Structure 1
Amino acid sequence: MVEPNLWRVLEPLAPTLVYQRGSMIYWQGDMADRLYYLKRGKIRIFLASVDGAEHTLRIQQTGSVFGEAAFFDGGPRMSSARALEKSEIIAIPRDVLLDSLQREPGLAMAMMRALSARVRMLSSQVDSMAFLQADRRLARFLAESAPVIQCSHEELGERIGASRITITRAVQKLQQRGWIQPQYRAIRIFDPVALLDYANGETK
């Protein structure tokens, strides 16, 4: 997330674009000439295989930046981005943002924090995929998403590498312990500490 007082610095840098639900913001392989600030809405970041299968990497929420990794290294996009609902996005050209970063040290630090958080999140996902059972992977993911995550069971499965049926069973298990409460296309997290303890094997 970008700090609330900094979005005002980002907004004048480029016009606000409106994307309807299902619209593509960019495709995997596109040249990364813009960084995106999500003023309002929800964006799905995903990988697409050659056979058309898609794997969700994360869901961007209001107030976040995305598309920054390829933007800063100048390479092609490694993932695709699609609007999950009507979204307002500020697409900031490279030269405009780089000039602003030089003039606004606070904005530069915010971008560094966003990149660091992204690296930590990806490292955690890799560790979970490699070593944890599905219910413990889900527990870790939910703990890191507190207090609420808006996501279907199918999308959760794509995020942690499990089937929808497995996710449904894991959600029921965690709900029975009183740590979460499923809602319509969302899950409210009551006890992220207990979820992390469970994910780390400190409770059975």
Structure 2
Amino acid sequence: MADWISETPAFAALDAESRAALSTLEVVDLPRGAVLFRPGDAVAGFVVVLSGRIEVYLSGANGRELMLYAVEPGQSCVQTTLGLLGTADYAGEAITARPTRLVMIPRALFLRLMDLSPGFRALVFAAFAERMDGMIRLMERVSFQSVECRLAAWLCAQAEHGRVQATHQEIASRIGSAREVVSRRLDAFARRGWVRTERGAVVICDPAALKKLALAEG
């Protein structure tokens, strides 16, 4: 059995035949900022993230970006699963957010395991269901919660030692807004004494106020 399988509990629990088929696959190391796919690309295989993080973005005609979801160890990519089970090409763009180790299961092997291995099939559908639930929650937040609430909640969730390392554009992509809107809201937060903005970062000055806003209805 390949080391990557033994280090991945969900795959280590598969039947011997499936593990043998997967053990021949090569582990790939990618640097931060590597592009895995772009809109219009055909789906070549199923990505298994061993370490690191991949972020999937959707871009609008106006240039705005929305981060749909991130793929970390144990998680799956919705667009990849849909493309492998159907014929759809990628609609978004996937970029490594930090150095990432992964294995690519080729389309032919993925489909064969889906047909022959109940354990592999259950693993794929369970990860797909979890990811779809997360996307529905994202749509609910973007549709029904105000930008201020989403921004406050995101800052609270991402803060480390009272600091969030992110540009205004990165924040906008993650909360489903525009950079200009995020900049105006952060300026308003700063005037209230809740945050302090620095180049590429936001310092949290009043976490209690942000948490209260985050819990407010949009």
With normalisation by structure 1, the TM-score equals: 0.69
* Equivalent residue number for residue 15 of structure 1: 26
| Secondary structure in structure 2 of the residue aligned to 1:157 | helix
| Structure 1 Cα separation of the partners of residues 216 and 85 of structure 2 | 34
Q: Look at both structures and tell me which one has the larger radius of gyration over its CA atoms.
A: 2
2:74 to 46, 51, 63: 63
Counterparts of 1:170-189 in structure 2 under 5 Å? 172=195, 176-177=207-208
Where do 5+ consecutive residues of structure 2 fail to align? 1-7, 196-203
Counterparts of 1:27-42 in structure 2 under 5 Å? 27-42=38-53
The 8 Å contact of residues 67 and 176 in structure 2, kept in 1 or not, is answered as no
Q: Deviations over 1:1-21 (max 9, x none)?
A: xxx521335752621112122
The 8 Å contact of residues 157 and 167 in structure 1, kept in 2 or not, is answered as no
* Equivalent residue number for residue 121 of structure 2: 108
Query: Which deviates more from structure 2 when the two are superposed, residues 53-62 or residues 19-28?
Result: 53-62
- How many pairs align? 183
| Structure 2 Cα separation of the partners of residues 55 and 19 of structure 1 | 23
Deviation (angstroms), 1:135: 3.6
1:75 to 80, 88, 101: 88
| Structure 1 Cα separation of the partners of residues 137 and 93 of structure 2 | 21
| Structure 1 Cα separation of the partners of residues 205 and 123 of structure 2 | 34
The root-mean-square deviation of aligned C-alpha atoms, in Å, is: 3.7
Deviation (angstroms), 1:65: 2.4
Q: Deviations over 1:21-52 (max 9, x none)?
A: 22111111111121111111111211234566
Where do 5+ consecutive residues of structure 1 fail to align? 181-193
Q: Deviations over 1:126-176 (max 9, x none)?
A: 222122112433566689x79x9x973643321222344336849858962
| Structure 2 Cα separation of the partners of residues 176 and 79 of structure 1 | 34
* Equivalent residue number for residue 110 of structure 2: 97
Instruction: Give the direction of change, closer, same or farther, for the CA distance of 1:175–1:38 in structure 2 (3 Å limit).
Output: farther
The 8 Å contact of residues 76 and 131 in structure 2, kept in 1 or not, is answered as no
| Structure 2 Cα separation of the partners of residues 49 and 107 of structure 1 | 35
| Secondary structure in structure 1 of the residue aligned to 2:23 | helix
| Structure 1 Cα separation of the partners of residues 97 and 33 of structure 2 | 6
| Secondary structure in structure 2 of the residue aligned to 1:82 | strand
The 8 Å contact of residues 140 and 199 in structure 1, kept in 2 or not, is answered as no
Using the aligned pairs only, state the percent identity. 18
Instruction: Give the direction of change, closer, same or farther, for the CA distance of 1:118–1:63 in structure 2 (3 Å limit).
Output: closer
Deviation (angstroms), 1:53: 4.8
The 8 Å contact of residues 153 and 167 in structure 1, kept in 2 or not, is answered as no
Say if 2:16 is the partner of 1:5. no
* Equivalent residue number for residue 166 of structure 2: 152
| Structure 2 Cα separation of the partners of residues 107 and 138 of structure 1 | 38
